[in-house]
Amino acid sequence: MEDNAWQMVEKKGNQFVVNDRPFYVNGFNTYWLMVFAADQSTRGKVTDAFKQASSVGLTVCRTWAFNDGQWRALQKSPSVYDEQVFKALDFVVSEAKKYKIRLILSLSNNWDAYGGKAQYVKWGKAAGLNLTSDDDFFSNPTLRGYYMAHVKTVLNRINTLTNITYKNDPTIFAWELMNEPRCTSDPSGDKLQSWIQEMAVYVKSIDPKHLVEIGLEGFYGPSTPNKVQFNPNKYAQHVGTDFIRNHQVLGVDFASVHIYADSWISKSISDAHLKFTKSWMEAHIEDAEKYLGMPVVFGEFGVSAEDPGYNPSFRDNLLGTVYKTLLNSTKKGGSGGGSLLWQLFPEGTDYMDDGYAIVLSKSPKTSNIISLHSSRLAVVNSLCTWKCRWGCRKKQ
Residues 6+ apart with CB under 8 A from 351: none
Q: Give the whole-angstrom CA distance, residue 340 versus residue 248.
A: 23
- Residue 300 a catalytic site member: yes
From the centroid of its chain, how far is CA 131?
29
Is residue 141 exposed (0-12), middle (13-18) or buried (19+ Cβ within 10 Å)?
exposed
What is the per-residue DSSP string for 58-79?
--EEEEES--BSSTT-SEEETT
Count the Cβ atoms, other than its own, within 10 Å of residue 20.
12
User: Which helix (H) or strand (E) is 106 found in, with range?
Assistant: strand 102-106
Q: Which residues pair with 109 in a beta bridge?
A: 179
Torsion, Cα 339 47 88 179, to 10 degrees, reads 20
User: Which helix (H) or strand (E) is 299 found in, with range?
Assistant: strand 296-301
Is residue 385 exposed (0-12), middle (13-18) or buried (19+ Cβ within 10 Å)?
middle
Looking at 95, 176, 180, 213, which residue is catalytic? 180
What is the distance in angstroms between the CA of the first residue and the CA of the last residue of the chain?
25
28 phi and psi angles, rounded to 5 deg: -155, 165
* Of 328, 392, 354, 366, nearest in space to 58 by CA: 366
Residues 6+ apart with CB under 8 A from 391: none
User: Which helix (H) or strand (E) is 255 found in, with range?
Assistant: strand 255-259
Q: Give the whole-angstrom CA distance, residue 134 versus residue 136.
A: 5
- Residue 217 a catalytic site member: no
Looking at 95, 176, 217, 300, which residue is catalytic? 300
Q: Give the whole-angstrom CA distance, residue 48 versus residue 150.
A: 29
CB contact at 8 A, 16 and 9: yes
Q: Give the whole-angstrom CA distance, residue 126 versus residue 300.
A: 34
Active site residues: 180, 300
